Structure 1
Amino acid sequence: MDHDGSEAARWFEALAVYAPAPAFIRDGQGRYLWVNAAYAHLYRMEPDAVVGRTVEEVDTPADAAVFSALDRAVLLSGRPVRHTLSFRDPDGMLRQVTGHRFVLDVGHGPRVGGIYVDVTDHARALEEKAAADEELHALRERSGLAVVTLDLKGRVQRVSCGAAQLLGSGRTTLEGSRAAEHLDGGFDIGAVRRSWADLVAGKASRYSGSVVCRTASGDSRVLRTDLAVVRRQGAPDRITAVLTPLSAEFTGSPCVSPVQLRVLTLMAGGQPNSVIASCLGLSRQALDYHLRRLRGVLNAASRPAMVARAYALGILDATAWPPRATGELSGG
């Protein structure tokens, strides 16, 4: 380009020629006098192929009209303008840039200079993040899903409305408390603690098991808990727990022996007493003893009532068939 009387233009060109930010200089008629490689790359061209052309020859008619209007506004005001622009590249892809357009006063008349940063990928990433955040918010707050977020020390950071309702407490009461404060033992609380240690150490990414939790009323409830690690820069940052009720609320913990648990499991599968006794190697008198004990423990007078009560209390897993004890849920 002609540099007569254009010290500013020479400095701008020297500075921007190797810059990764797209930069250009145009005259008052919209003709390109200079572009750097980054600007030409936006159009899949070399700089020499752009210089000498007008904006109407390089951009789509709609984009060219916008750019020419901005050039005229900057030339009339003489003041730099910072703005964000969208345009179509040769592949038809919508791109977005942000930067400054300004006047370069040279010997042959004022010129318009511009330097921009291509923020297409950044803008798209922000849109995708916003969509993901909205989906997560919908899952947490609108679906009724019981979700609890915990820090690596087991302290409750965030509770969804579904989780607060499940535990019968307000969110402000639960948030900031320690998860251990709400546990009332479990079918194998030791397995939960070992799995938690593996999650925190990054040795595992998820775990599924069952626990007994205390509710705000002072009763207990069996919950399936699905734990998953949330990582940050590759390292465990927090733990998300999805809670699923496996029982109604109950007072106290039914004391069912391992043999009685097997009796309940076989009974729930529809096996008659003779088959249950044979499978467990029990005499008829021994089986009658365990059935009497189960009627008392479960406060149920009949076989169907005992099975129903076992499911209601979370002793049997309502999500499994053939029937199995809730405590047999395996870690993942």
Structure 2
Amino acid sequence: MDAERRPVPGRGTEPDPPDQALAPETARWFAKLAAYTPAMAFVRNGDGRYLWVNAAYAHLYGLEPAAVVGRSVEEVDPPLDAAGFRALDREVLRTRRPVRHMLAFRHPDGRPGRAVGHRFALDGRDEPCVGGVYVDVTERDRALDEKAAVHEELHALRERSGLAVVTVGLDGRVERASGGAAGLLGVGRADLEGTPVTAHLKGSAVPAVLRRLWSELVQGRISRAGDVLRVRVAGGATRLLRTDLAVVRHRGAPVRVLAVLTPLGTEFAEPPRITPLQLRVLLLLAGGRPNSGIAEGLGLSRQALDYHLRRLRSVLDAPSRPAMVARAYTLGILDANAWPPRPAAGPPPGR
């Protein structure tokens, strides 16, 4: 094989196809295919001089193939790289065995890159040669690095931060639970994973709001949602949890739902039963209204208001107005993140 080049109309000179033993028409097809394949390919002689390169390989140097052919490795590569390439060429020619090789390079815009491929011996017309075919894996490696970083961040959030995180399949079953989630519910991970979410909700009926939100999430109509749920914890007690849901997608389609659980208040054996009117009394109390203002605002007599306040003190186990308000926030009856006071999302406890 030599570096002789033939003219091509409109293109100047191109190197001869690597194998002239092919039929002329087949050789032309092969030359065109090899010249423009996305993989980077070259042929060098034993002296390190380029006999043939394709467009992808020449692009590494910001050149056209004709500007590389006929030059030596030392003329196109940095000295340290050239020495390593020549050593590898000699090994391939000595052993006649192909070598898988990873090489570092610079893209024409200066970005570092990596390519992986094989270098192998070729029998030329006049002397043994070395061929190489490489694929640019820069973007693949970058994507894998980013994926690994995301997995590490998720693992840190799930396992090291103490967050209560639950991954739920589209069928409504718990696929994975963090240690924080298991601890929040007072159970082991094995008692959560593989079980339906509904098995951990207090009461037999799933709230209509949750059913609607779940349907919209798994169908991909919304990406996130939130609600307050009454959840059964160890020993049969009840706990109010703020549940923030986010869809996990694969190629644009929902595949699972990630739930972050935040406790609202402490556990309680039975949900406090308050009426809608008593809830309105609590809202006005929390807003700082005096008894006279509450009675006037709700159209109650002073005696009727005193009755409801006594009932609230008993139900909430709170001896004073400030204690009743504090207890209402602790039990998740009132939204701790809202001002002016408003009920927590979802149905009031005891309804």
TM-score range, shorter chain: over 0.9
Sequence identity of aligned pairs in percent? 63
Q: CA deviation at 1:140?
A: 1.1
Query: Aligned partners of 1:231, 1:323: CA distance in 2, in Å?
Result: 36
Query: Aligned partners of 2:59, 2:329: CA distance in 1, in Å?
Result: 67
Checking the alignment, whether the CA contact within 8 Å between 1:187 and 1:327 is kept in structure 2 is no
Tell me what 1:327 maps to: 345
Query: Aligned partners of 2:106, 2:74: CA distance in 1, in Å?
Result: 13
Tell me what 1:135 maps to: 153
Query: Aligned partners of 2:317, 2:131: CA distance in 1, in Å?
Result: 86
Deviations 1:64-112 (A, max 9, x none): 2322221122122221101222122343211111111011122322111
Query: Aligned partners of 1:292, 1:222: CA distance in 2, in Å?
Result: 24
Greater RCO structure (CA 8 Å; 6+ sep):
1
Say if 2:135 is the partner of 1:91: no
SS of the residue corresponding to residue 135 of structure 1 reads helix
Checking the alignment, whether the CA contact within 8 Å between 1:3 and 1:106 is kept in structure 2 is no
Unmatched tracts of structure 1, length 5 or more:
none
Q: 1:20 aligns with which of 38, 44, 49?
A: 38
Counterpart of 1:156 in structure 2: which amino acid? V
Deviations 1:295-317 (A, max 9, x none): 11111111122112112211112
Tell me what 1:311 maps to: 329
Query: Aligned partners of 1:195, 1:289: CA distance in 2, in Å?
Result: 38
**Matches for 1:1-332 after TM superposition, within 5 Å:** 2=2, 9-10=19-20, 14=31, 16-185=34-203, 189-327=207-345
Deviations 1:5-48 (A, max 9, x none): x9974479746333221100011221111001111122221110
Counterpart of 1:120 in structure 2: which amino acid? T
SS of the residue corresponding to residue 321 of structure 1 reads coil
Q: CA deviation at 1:160?
A: 1.0
Q: TM-score, normalised by structure 1?
A: 0.92
Checking the alignment, whether the CA contact within 8 Å between 1:187 and 1:211 is kept in structure 2 is no
Cα 1:50–1:8, aligned 2, differ >3 Å: closer, same or farther? closer
Q: TM-score, normalised by structure 2?
A: 0.87
Unmatched tracts of structure 2, length 5 or more:
5-15
SS of the residue corresponding to residue 248 of structure 1 reads strand
**Matched pairs, number:** 328
Query: Aligned partners of 2:34, 2:164: CA distance in 1, in Å?
Result: 54
Runs of 4+ residues deviating >6 angstroms: none
Query: Aligned partners of 2:19, 2:301: CA distance in 1, in Å?
Result: 103
Query: Aligned partners of 1:236, 1:106: CA distance in 2, in Å?
Result: 56
